[in-house]
Amino acid sequence: MDAQKLDSYSLEQLENLVVNYRREGRESDPIFPDILAARERLKSPALDFQTTLAVIRRAAAAGRFLPYKQIADESGADWSKVHWQMGGHLTRLCEYAHRRGWPLISAIVVNGENVESGSLRPESLAGFVSVARELGLSVLEPDEFLRDEQQRVFRWANPVANDHPDMI
């Protein structure tokens, strides 16, 4: 399958591909993250997938946390219209990152009042941990897992230490 041809697929076709790849246990296939990205472009058009990746990478490279609202702003989306979509968007982004061998890059995306500390509200932390577990990651202590994953994201985005040349 050619990754460039994925842009010609409908959302329904991409959803079917995702289901089939999962059913066949082919999530580790190199094309699978591209299928996820193509699906996301159609599933959440107001929240641009590549823009979200880029803004998270810039914030991580600067060693700072990022408020959810900034992701909407960077995509030119009205926060009041997309804030309910943000959880699903970041969940799909986490799977994309995980399938590429990256950390769960949404770990540094936090509620506005927690940009300095990097903490998550309990419901946001529960959602993040749920995504990690769905991806097969072991989470024994949620707060510690979040902190570890945040440090992994900062290292991932560091151009000197980065061993993932295909970051974006």
Q: If pLDDT is split at 50, 70 and 90, which confidence band does 166 have?
A: low
Q: What is the pLDDT of residue 168?
A: 45
Q: pLDDT tens across 30-66, in order?
A: 999 899 888 888 887 788 888 999 999 999 999 999 9
Q: pLDDT tens across 1-30, in order?
A: 777 799 899 999 999 999 999 999 999 899
Mean pLDDT of 77-105: 93
DSSP SS3 for 67: strand
Q: What is the pLDDT of residue 45?
A: 76
Contacts of 94 (CB under 8 A, 6+ apart): 104, 105, 106, 131, 132, 135
Diameter of the chain by CA atoms?
Answer: 44
Q: If pLDDT is split at 50, 70 and 90, which confidence band does 102 have?
A: very high
Mean pLDDT of 147-159: 93
**Which one, of 158, 67, 164, lies nearest residue 106 by Cα?**
67
**Mean pLDDT, rounded, of the chain:** 90
Cα separation of 16 and 39, whole Å?
Answer: 10
The two tokens of residue 124 are 């946001």
pTM to 2 decimal places: 0.82
Q: pLDDT tens across 109-130, in order?
A: 999 999 999 999 999 999 999 9
**Which one, of 26, 21, 27, 89, lies nearest residue 53 by Cα?**
89
Q: What is the pLDDT of residue 10?
A: 92
